[in-house]
């Protein structure tokens, strides 16, 4: 499309974008270049946990931008130390490495597990992952992912990621051999269609990995940072993993991610891991603002309450239109449709007038909801009203 003096043709095509340019956002609302408003239940793919342009993030960016942008990853900075301290004080992990994207954090988790395998397990390097999992778009994280078709796209894959079936402990056991070093999974498969790992499965996986001397890695890039109603999703199953990755919500919309590990797993030595922007104060200052907001009294309880509310409203909608129910955790939920009309509904919701609605269909028969964690009940009602009208068409 033409936009002012320039054409969108100057961009590589990596997805089919509608002919819209978003110019402004506030809370649960986005505005395009024609002045149309959209109620946003995608929020940058579960990224903007405090909504669009929240004052906490704006203030943190402005203050930090006027103080110190980037002393170099070879030096400490204040926000980096503070954010690592907040994360370790609120989790079972002892140390943090900051990254810029979820894929990069997962790549770091894979490297850490392989290093641990070299040091402690005779060079074991295989990491068991799961069908329909999503861990990112670098070569190694695509290889770790269980997305159909990704095994041949950009072949050859990075070796060492045998795939088990989620919620099937026997399928994991069957893949363990002397080369196995870890098991890695999402507590709730997000891109795969909002499929939660059962608490009993997570507990069995923790027991099995302990018994066999394997690391348990949880990819909480989507499920973490309050998305499922607790700071991290794995705590709901009462398990203590060895390694965790965070992304998306931790930056509230800016590029920030993290790799966390327990002390006995932290075997990187100087030179093993790094990156130009890793731990830069501009982004970690935002992470501090996000975490302080989420950890304030009542915030996560509010997420749980609105998660329940969204769930009950989706169930009503499902009953009224004879759909297949809903599933998910906290404010990461999916409505199961009666046919493969997800993509058509997403398009109709976007094009609805005078106000559009932004939704996502991770599978053709599902709609996924990942609103801001501070979305209001009124905004949930408005979304349900719009979706109700679309489903009736």
Ligand X SMILES: *Cc1c(COP(=O)(O)O)cnc(C)c1O
Residues classed as catalytic? 134, 219, 248
Give whichever of 106 and 318 is closer to ligand X, judged by the CB atom.
106
| Residue 222 contacts ligand X per CB under 6 A | yes
| Residue 101 contacts ligand X per CB under 6 A | yes
Give whichever of 164 and 221 is closer to ligand X, judged by the CB atom.
221
Distance between CA atoms of residues 16 and 22, nearest Å: 15
Residues ≥6 apart with Cβ < 8 Å to 238: 199, 203
Give whichever of 144 and 390 is closer to ligand X, judged by the CB atom.
144
Residues 221, 288, 331, 391: which binds ligand X (CB under 6 A)? 221
The closest alpha carbon to 334, from 322, 326, 323, belongs to: 326
Q: Integer distance in angstroms from the first to the last C-alpha of the chain?
A: 30
- CB-based contact 100:287 (threshold 8 Å): no
Site string for ligand X, 161-200 (x = CB under 6 A): -------------------------x---xx---------
Residues 25, 51, 136, 196: which binds ligand X (CB under 6 A)? 136
**Shortest separation between residue 307's beta carbon and ligand X, angstroms:** 18
| Residue 219 contacts ligand X per CB under 6 A | yes
Give whichever of 257 and 285 is closer to ligand X, judged by the CB atom.
257
Q: DSSP 3-state assignment of 328?
A: strand
Stretch that binds ligand X, among 96-104, 175-183, 265-273, 365-373 (CB under 6 A): 96-104
| Residue 103 contacts ligand X per CB under 6 A | yes
The token duo for 43 is 């929020």
- CB-based contact 290:349 (threshold 8 Å): no
Task: Tell me how many degrees the CA angle 145-147-148 measures, rounded to the nearest 5.
Answer: 140
**Shortest separation between residue 47's beta carbon and ligand X, angstroms:** 8
Residue nearest to ligand X (CB): 102
Residues 52, 114, 115, 135: which binds ligand X (CB under 6 A)? 135
- The size of the chain, in residues, is 393
Distance between CA atoms of residues 64 and 157, nearest Å: 40
| Residue 107 contacts ligand X per CB under 6 A | no
Q: Which residues of 76-97 are buried (b: 16+ CB within 10 A; e: fewer)?
A: ebebbebbbebbeeebebeebb
Site string for ligand X, 236-275 (x = CB under 6 A): -----------xx---------------------------
| Residue 106 contacts ligand X per CB under 6 A | yes
**Shortest separation between residue 221's beta carbon and ligand X, angstroms:** 4
- CB-based contact 365:342 (threshold 8 Å): yes
Residues ≥6 apart with Cβ < 8 Å to 117: 123, 124, 125, 181, 182
Give whichever of 102 and 229 is closer to ligand X, judged by the CB atom.
102
Give whichever of 110 and 391 is closer to ligand X, judged by the CB atom.
110
The closest alpha carbon to 356, from 336, 382, 333, 323, belongs to: 382
Q: Report the interface residues with ligand X, using CB under 6 A.
A: 101-103, 106, 134-136, 186, 190-191, 219, 221-222, 247-248
């Amino acid at each position: 499309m033409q936009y002012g003096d320039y054409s969108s043709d100057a961009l590589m095509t990596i997805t089919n974008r509608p002919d819209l340019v978003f110019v402004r956002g506030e809370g649960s609302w986005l505005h395009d270049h024609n002045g149309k408003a959209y109620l946003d239940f995608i929020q940058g793919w579960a990224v903007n946990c405090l909504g669009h342009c929240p004052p906490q993030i704006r203030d943190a960016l402005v203050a930090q931008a006027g103080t110190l942008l980037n002393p170099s990853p070879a030096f400490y900075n204040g926000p980096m130390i503070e954010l690592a301290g907040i994360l370790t004080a609120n989790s079972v992990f002892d140390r943090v490495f900051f990254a810029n994207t979820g894929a990069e954090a997962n790549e770091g988790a894979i490297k850490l597990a392989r290093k641990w395998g070299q040091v402690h397990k005779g060079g074991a390097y295989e990491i068991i992952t799961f069908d329909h999992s999503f861990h990112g778009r670098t070569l190694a994280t695509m290889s770790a992912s269980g997305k159909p078709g990704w095994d041949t796209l950009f072949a050859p894959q990075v070796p060492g990621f045998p795939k088990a079936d989620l919620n099937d402990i026997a399928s994991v056991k069957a893949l363990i051999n002397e080369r196995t070093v870890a098991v890695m999974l999402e507590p709730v498969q997000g891109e795969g269609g909002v499929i939660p790992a059962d608490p009993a499965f997570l507990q069995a996986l923790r027991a099995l990995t302990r018994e066999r001397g394997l690391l348990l890695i949880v990819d909480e890039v989507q499920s973490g940072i309050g998305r499922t109603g607790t700071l991290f999703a794995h705590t709901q199953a009462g398990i203590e993993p060895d390694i965790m990755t965070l992304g998306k919500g931790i930056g509230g919309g800016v590029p920030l991610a993290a790799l966390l590990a327990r002390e006995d797993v932290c075997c990187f030595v100087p030179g093993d891991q790094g990156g130009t922007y890793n731990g830069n104060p501009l982004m970690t200052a935002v992470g501090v603002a996000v975490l302080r907001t989420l950890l304030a009294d009542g915030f996560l309880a509010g997420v749980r309450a609105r998660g329940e509310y969204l769930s009950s409203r989706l169930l009503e909608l499902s009953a009224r239109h004879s759909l297949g129910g809903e599933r998910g955790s906290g404010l990461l939920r999916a409505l199961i449709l009666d046919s493969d009309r997800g993509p058509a509904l997403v398009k109709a919701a976007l094009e609805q007038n005078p106000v559009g609605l932004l939704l996502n269909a991770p599978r053709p028969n599902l709609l996924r909801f990942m609103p801001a964690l501070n979305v209001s009940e009124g905004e949930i009602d408005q979304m349900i009203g719009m979706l109700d009208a679309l489903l009736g068409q």
